[in-house]
Structures are given as C-alpha cells and as structure tokens.
Structure 1
Amino acid sequence: MTQLDQFDRKILAHLQDDARLTNNDLAERVNLSPSQCSRRRQRLEEDGYIRGYRAVLDREKLGYTLVNIISVTLATHNRDNARHFAELLSRLPEVQEAHALTGEMDYILKVVTPDLRSLSEFVNGVLLPHESVQHVKTAIVLESLKEAGGLPVRQTASGRA
C-alpha cells in the first residue's frame, strides 16, 4: 500500500461524506484534474482504503426505534465457542456492531429492534439459548449523542493534518 498524501485524504473525506459524487465534482473539490482524480480513486479502491459504497438508511423510518447495547459472556473460553458465537452474529441483521473485549465481558453488541417485545425475543429466544452464551446484560439507549460517523481521514496517524 502506498502512503496517503493530502489529495488522497481529501478524496477519502469527500467520498465518505457523499459517495455519490461524480468524478468531475470530486476532482473539482480536491483541486485535481478528472483523470488524476479517477486514477487516485481507483488506486484507493484497489489498495483497500475504500472497501465499498453504501446507502445510509434511516433506522427509525424503517421501524427500528430501539437501540440496545448488549454485553455477552461466553460459557467457555475456547476457539470453537468463540467461532460458534461469531457465526451466530453473522446471521443476525439486527446486530449492527459486535466487538470482542478484554475484561469482565467477552463481547459488546449494538442491536436495533422495533420494540421491547422484539428485544425480549432476541435476548431470550436467540442469544440466551445459544450453547456458547453464558450471560447477557442489556441496556436500552435513551439518546444517541453521536452515531457512526466518518473516520478522521484529514489527519495523519500522528493527529496532524
């Protein structure tokens, strides 16, 4: 992978804000010719800096009014158990994020549900019966102060632009 320069970072920042930008619009915003911009964008895709493009959907308009943070402790700590749990999560579209942790709990999940009944069915009907799960704690988000935004691509790893 190549080192990112200021133009690459600007391209990434603008595409992160609006992936529907045409190449001409993007080139104008980053102050490059359209051909240079197109080559850089293609390189950023090939090098894996851009993993894909997607639409950001409105969770509430689609009926997912509850955001839930669920901590999970596994029954036993071995690779097979962790793999079985990861396979379960990969099949559950309501799981928006899943992170393996150090410390008291093994995983923390961000799960969306339409209502409390659906949350109860998810916890009691899906998570708890799974052979890899020992303990589950659930918290309902009252207010989201900041949700998944973009990465700070305008900065270098050292934090300077």
Structure 2
Amino acid sequence: MPGVKLDPIDRKILAELQADGRMTNVDLSQRVGISAPPCLRRMRALEEEGLIRGYHADVDERALGFDVMVFAMIGLKSQAEEDLEAFEALAQSWPLVRDCHMLNGEIDFILRCVAPNLSTFQKFLTDHLTSAPNVASVKTRLVIRTAKREPGVPFELLDQTTSV
C-alpha cells in the first residue's frame, strides 16, 4: 500500500495491535490516547485499507511437536509468469509450507517448511516438492535453532513524516 498516509495515532494503533492483537478496543484506545469510538473507527479503516490483514496467535511449532523446520530453495525450469503462478498455487496448497517467497538471482523461491519429524519432511520432499511440475532443483537447509523470529514491522524506525 505505497502512498498511504498514516498519522501518529494510526501508527501507534498498528504498533500496539502488532504487539498484542487480543487487547480490547478500550485498552487500545487508552494506550493510543483517544476515546474508544474513534479508535474503533480508525482500526476498521486500517483493516479496510489492508494494513491489518488479520489477527493470529503466535504458536510455538516445536512445543506442538513440529520439531523440524527447513528452508527449501527452489529453482524452476521456466520463469514465465504462468509457471511462477502455478508454483505459487502449489506452494499454497502444501500444509508443510508456511512461507513462500519469490527471490531474484539463482534461486526462484524460498520456502519455510515445518514438519513433526524428518521422515515426514523427506516424504513431502520426494513425493511433492522435487516431483512438482517445472521444478528444476531443490536445495534444503535444516534449521538447528532460531535466534530471532519477530513478525510484523519495526515501527520504531518510522519517523513522524514517513508514509507507509
């Protein structure tokens, strides 16, 4: 949404919701320093603009038994738009794929995958990923540990005159 102008209150609403999407509108309004009705109107406007895409719980994969996280770097045979879109559709259909990003350079896509164990990921790799149409190469990297994983954006870097 380039060019969307946000005032300091809108940025503060976004920052507060990013930090805690479960808070009530009353709590949010108190944190941003306005009354509840205009706070709710602003929040709804931010949702309608697409700046708030949803509200989600940040679950711990490993605590839920998903002990394997893998980054898969995908090279395609063709980068024609219809082939890129076809691969993206496939990636969206695979439950183990949690993130899919198109890159520039040697690698066309990087996928972040989670699985309960290595054999489940290996079965996905051989049955689905490497055999997918238009896939020329797959390189994988097993995550040993995660030092930082922070969703959202660093609102503290935005100054008062920056537009989103």
TM score, norm. by length of structure 1: 0.90
Inter-partner Cα distance in structure 1 for 2:95 and 2:150: 17
Pairwise CA distance, 1:149: 2.2
TM alignment of 1:33-72, pairs within 5 A: 33-72=35-74
1:10-63 CA distances to partner (integer Å, 9 max, x unpaired)?
111111111111111111111111122112112111221111112222211221
Matched with 2:8 is 6
Q: Which runs of 5+ in 2 are unaligned?
A: none
Inter-partner Cα distance in structure 2 for 1:159 and 1:2: 12
Matched with 1:112 is 114
Q: Which runs of 5+ in 1 are unaligned?
A: none
Of 90, 93, 116 in structure 2, the residue corresponding to residue 91 of structure 1 is 93
Inter-partner Cα distance in structure 2 for 1:110 and 1:157: 32
Inter-partner Cα distance in structure 2 for 1:62 and 1:159: 42
Of 127, 130, 134 in structure 2, the residue corresponding to residue 128 of structure 1 is 130
The one-letter amino acid of 1:53's match is: Y
Inter-partner Cα distance in structure 1 for 2:51 and 2:115: 31
TM score, norm. by length of structure 2: 0.89
The one-letter amino acid of 2:16's match is: H
Matched with 2:23 is 21
Aligned residues of 1:82 and 1:132 also touching (Cα < 8 A): no
Moved over 6 A (4+): 157-160
Inter-partner Cα distance in structure 1 for 2:5 and 2:56: 25
Pairwise CA distance, 1:77: 2.6
Inter-partner Cα distance in structure 1 for 2:137 and 2:104: 16
Inter-partner Cα distance in structure 1 for 2:104 and 2:39: 42
CA 1:2/1:79 → structure 2, altered by over 3 Å: closer, same or farther? closer
Aligned residues of 2:29 and 2:39 also touching (Cα < 8 A): yes
Matched with 1:82 is 84
1:96-124 CA distances to partner (integer Å, 9 max, x unpaired)?
11111111111111111111111211111
1:38-97 CA distances to partner (integer Å, 9 max, x unpaired)?
121121112211111122222112211111011011122322322221111010121111
